[in-house]
Amino acid sequence: MVRVRLGFSRMAYGMTPGLYAMGTPTPDSPVLVTANYKLTVDVLRRELGGRDLWILVLDTANVNVWCAAGKGTFGTAELVGRVAATGLAERVTHRQLILPQLGAPGVAAHAVAKETGFRVVYGPIRAKDLPAFLDHGELATPEMRRIGFPLLDRLVLAPVELRHYLVPMLVVALVLGALPGIIQGQAGELVSAGGHGIAAALATWLGGCLLGPALLPWLPGRAFWVKGAGLGAALALLLAAAGMVQGLLPILGGVLWIGAGVSFLFMNFTGCTTFTSQSGVKAELRAVPGQIVAGLAGLALWSLDWWR
Amino acid sequence: MALRYLANVVTLQLDEAACVGCGRCAEVCPHAVFAIQDRRARIVDRDACMECGACARNCPVAAISVDAGVGCATGLLNRALGRKGDCCCSEERGNECTTTK
């Protein structure tokens, strides 16, 4: 079944899988394969507007190409099945499918060729390179094949991280904000040490979820737990410089627990990056016991400030 | 600026004797780990490998092996704790990871 929708003007959030015509394609027009994630299809539509193409949309349960390829839903079986279900071989005279390069973890090109007769060509990583790719004999330059992790891509993910850790941060802020008042016999009041605790919780959260991603290339170390620990320690010293925590032991405590907190949060940013390996992250997880010990010891030292 | 992760940790292996030089691995790798030299694939930047598994999946003669997975601390911790959810692609976090993995 072919659904011809000029311009894709009325798409639902998750696109129905199938074969779509973009513009007025002929049996000779290229076939591009993508995921049924609305944002992905939107990007294709934007970058390829004005061209005549076939778009074969796979059922990835509304997940983007790279995530879906990792899970195998953007995969060989789905592609082979979708080629058959759409009767693609009768719609086009050529035998070539253009897949996004980031779909490759899920698709075995040689198996697709064997089962469908269609040859798989992996296109560029970024949709914005598709026009150049199509105009130059379907050849991708080495630059088109390499993934980076520029500032904008890192910051786009920050809101997700911030929201993910919002509740834990609020809990920590509430405890650190309320305990000093209770200890000082002013339960329910926000004493200055309590205010400083809330500021520290906020700094930890923003450090791990926003500052860390923004400063990623410049933070010393390669392991994310190291980068995060350094950033957290620096933030703790900034709080001390601002007079928010005084005395050697409470300052040391702040360095320890804020360092441990940012270290842990930033370690969890590995899943958002484009270059961390599973083996590397497994190695990083050995830092977790140390983070817990440093966090608890740091909080104990920090709390010495509450009796001032 | 090329971001570098930990050195000497990845599980990527290439059997150069089995390689037929088709070039698929170099085509699909997003980190230019492979180069084709003398009609054989070579690993030229092993530490850049993120273990996505694209090369192994697309090698027609199974000359490449890698313990493929997502380099995601949240997902690995969840798995270690017996909880569901494999990082940004999990049900909990829906489709929020849009631009990268």
Residue B38 domain flag: yes
Q: What is the pLDDT of residues A180-221, one digit of tens each?
A: 999 999 888 889 999 999 999 999 999 999 999 999 999 999
State the average pLDDT over residues A114-139.
Answer: 96
For residue A303, CA distances in Å to A81, A141, A183 come to 62, 57, 10
User: Among A122-126, A146-150, B74-78, where is mean pLDDT lowest?
Assistant: B74-78
Residue B41 domain flag: yes
Count: domains in chain B: 1
- What chain A holds in terms of domains, given with CATH numbers, is 2-145 (3.40.50.11600), 151-307 (no CATH)
B48: CATH: 3.30.70.20
Q: In which band, very low, low, confident or very high, does the pLDDT at A228 lie, cut at 50, 70 and 90? A: very high
- Confidence at residue A188, expressed as pLDDT on a 0 to 100 scale: 83
For residue B34, CA distances in Å to A37, A146, A279, B54, B55 come to 30, 12, 19, 12, 9
Residue B32 domain flag: yes
Inter-chain touch A273–B100, beta carbons under 8 Å: yes
Q: What is the pLDDT of residues A4-16, one digit of tens each?
A: 443 343 344 678 9
Q: What is the pLDDT of residues A22-42, one digit of tens each?
A: 999 999 999 999 999 988 888
- Confidence at residue B79, expressed as pLDDT on a 0 to 100 scale: 87
Residue B62 domain flag: yes
Query: Among residues of chain A, what percentage have pLDDT more than 70?
Result: 95
Q: In which band, very low, low, confident or very high, does the pLDDT at B52 lie, cut at 50, 70 and 90? A: very high
State the average pLDDT over residues B72-100.
Answer: 63
Residue carrying structure tokens 């070039």: B23
In chain A, residues 54-73 whose CB comes closer than 8 Å to chain B: 62-64, 66-71
Residue B26 domain flag: yes
Of A104, A268, A288, the CB nearest to B54: A104
Q: What is the pLDDT of residues A262-284, one digit of tens each?
A: 999 999 999 999 999 999 999 99
**Summary mean pLDDT of chain A:** 93
Residue carrying structure tokens 């509450």: A306
Q: In a mutagenesis test of the A interface, which of B6, B44, B77, B79 is the best target, namely the one with the most A β-carbons within 10 Å?
A: B6
Q: Report the distance separating Cα B79 and Cα A36, nearest Å.
A: 27
Between B83 and B40, the more confident residue is B40
Residue B99 domain flag: no
Residue B7 domain flag: no
CA count, 13 A, side-chain hemisphere, A228: 29
Q: Is residue A146 within 8 angstroms of chain B, CB to CB?
A: yes
Residue B94 domain flag: no
Note down the domain range covering B39. 13-88
Q: Is residue B79 within 8 angstroms of chain A, CB to CB?
A: no
- Confidence at residue A60, expressed as pLDDT on a 0 to 100 scale: 94
- Confidence at residue B85, expressed as pLDDT on a 0 to 100 scale: 61
- Confidence at residue B82, expressed as pLDDT on a 0 to 100 scale: 84
> If you measure CA to CA, which chain A residue comes closest to B77?
A285
Between B101 and A84, the more confident residue is A84
Q: Report the distance separating Cα B101 and Cα B97, nearest Å.
A: 6
Q: Which helix (DSSP H) or strand (DSSP E) does residue A22 occupy?
A: strand A18-22
Inter-chain touch B73–A285, beta carbons under 8 Å: yes
First to last CA, chain B: 19
Q: Is residue A280 within 8 angstroms of chain B, CB to CB?
A: yes
Please answer whether residues A109 and A122 qualify as being in contact, where contact means their C-beta atoms are separated by less than 8 angstroms.
yes
Please answer whether residues A179 and A233 qualify as being in contact, where contact means their C-beta atoms are separated by less than 8 angstroms.
no
- Tell whether the model's pLDDT for residue A255 goes beyond 50: yes
Residue A286 CB-density burial (10 A; 0-12 exposed, 13-18 middle, 19+ buried):
exposed
Q: What is the pLDDT of residues A129-170, one digit of tens each?
A: 999 999 999 999 999 999 999 999 999 989 999 999 999 999
Q: A192 vs chain B: nearest CA distance in angstroms?
A: 35
- Confidence at residue B94, expressed as pLDDT on a 0 to 100 scale: 38
What ipTM was estimated for this complex? 0.88
